Amino acid sequence: MRILLVGAGGVGSAFAGIAARRDFFEEIVVADYDLARAEQAAAIDPRFSATRIDASDQSSVEALVAEHRITHVMNAVDPVFNMPIFNGAFAAGADYLDMAMSLSKPHPQRPYSECGVKLGDEQFAVADQWEQAGRLALVGIGVEPGLSDVFARYAADHLFSEIDELGTRDGANLVVTDADGNEIFAPSFSMWTTIEECLNPPVIWEKEGGQGRWFTTAPFSEPEVFDFPEGIGPVECVNVEHEEVLLMPRWIDCKRVTFKYGLGDEFINILKVLNTLGLDRTEKVRVKGVEVSPRDVVAAVLPDPATVGPQMRGKTCAGLFVTGKGKDGQPRQTYLYHVVDNEQTMAEYGHQCVVWQTAINPVIALELLAHGTWSGSGVLGPEAFDAVPFLDLLNEYGSPWGQRDS
């Protein structure tokens, strides 16, 4: 297996750090627009090399796949670049993985009730072409989407006879401080992506009368307090647009799918202000003769998520709350989860917990593909594969998952 890793930011660098401890691949080419950043990520292992890439240019992806005889393209950049990378991998004859799917567009007249272009629509539109070519695009294989999708497969196969709701519930008690110990606002993940998913209309999937449908609500709708395990505790979670809702119903029989994230009042207020001021926009505006995207400016002035690890403390939890009937036919509620402590990932890998938790899942998926444990063609989500080998490897990597029944 020869991997082209596109992106050497927080998640890409964490991916490299985790993969360097495994032996399932022959070479990883780390590619970034910033060559110095790619070189820094690649310096940890002699099987790694570094190069520059323009992720917005499909031909740049194709050229690197051909030059390095790449078998698998791993997309670790913001989803705005998905389609050039996705199309470039296909054109060059490589398989493809990403951690976030092609972007959505709200319904032009009814954004808070009906879907417009959904997350992943552009990719699923060409699924037949990938299948006919015998190529695999494994989409949404980060932590979220990704791990909760694996949990959904596990719950359907091993825990439940009927599923009422697959509810992804993510939360954390992370705190970032400045040099004087004062708490500061510093997102632990890409601010560009966070704005995208939190301010877009959230999507919900429901089955009524045997027919399923996707629909939207207003941002931050349906707040609920969810009690997270391992000391994190109660966190208010709200609806957020996310790929799990678009992926799970394609492979798992259930009545409802939701995604809720514990953002906190401060973060929600900041996002609302950004939206009110138009600072969430991606369209460029002219400022003193220079064209800039307001969202790019917001992301640029905030701390880089890849660098805040030493200032961060606490834990992050990704998980899936499943309700329905167990294999015995009795009512059942189960939370399948994965908790990561920032102190641990910083000590062992030098990467903060959120980007590390995101990066470990595609590494595991690639190892399963390399060994032939997972295989397939077309555009597939993690739900399309057996969950047990994945969860076993997660334990083997030293980051065990958990289960809480209530």
Query: Domain extents for the chain?
Result: 2-98, 147-352
Q: Cα–Cα distances in Å, from 376 out to 147, 175, 244, 361? A: 18, 41, 20, 18
Q: Mean pLDDT of successive 10-residue segments in the chain (406 residues)?
A: 96 97 98 97 97 97 98 95 98 97 95 96 98 98 96 98 98 85 72 81 92 94 95 94 97 97 83 87 88 88 76 93 98 98 94 94 98 98 98 96 95
Beta strands in 152-218 (DSSP E): 160-172, 175-176, 203-208, 211-216
Q: Is the dihedral of CA 375, 378, 382, 383 positive or negative?
A: negative
Query: In this structure, are residues 42 and 16 in contact, taking their beta carbons and an 8 Å threshold?
Result: yes
Domain spanning 147-352: CATH 3.30.360.10: yes
pLDDT at position 298 is 86
Other C-beta atoms within 10 Å of 133: how many? 12
pLDDT at position 189 is 65
pLDDT at position 325 is 98
pLDDT at position 179 is 78
How far, in Å, CA of 244 to CA of 239, rounded? 12
pLDDT at position 282 is 86
Which residues, other chains included, contact 57 with Cβ-Cβ below 8 Å and sequence gap of 6+?
Answer: 84
Q: Which CATH superfamily is domain 2-98 in?
A: NAD(P)-binding Rossmann-like Domain (3.40.50.720)
Nearest to 253 by CA among 120, 405, 143, 383: 383
Query: In this structure, are residues 358 and 78 in contact, taking their beta carbons and an 8 Å threshold?
Result: no
Write phi, then psi, for 47 (nearest 5 degrees): -80, -5
Cis peptide before 187, with omega less than 30 degrees from 0?
Answer: no
pLDDT at position 210 is 82
Q: Cα–Cα distances in Å, from 134 out to 45, 90, 122, 368? A: 31, 10, 19, 18
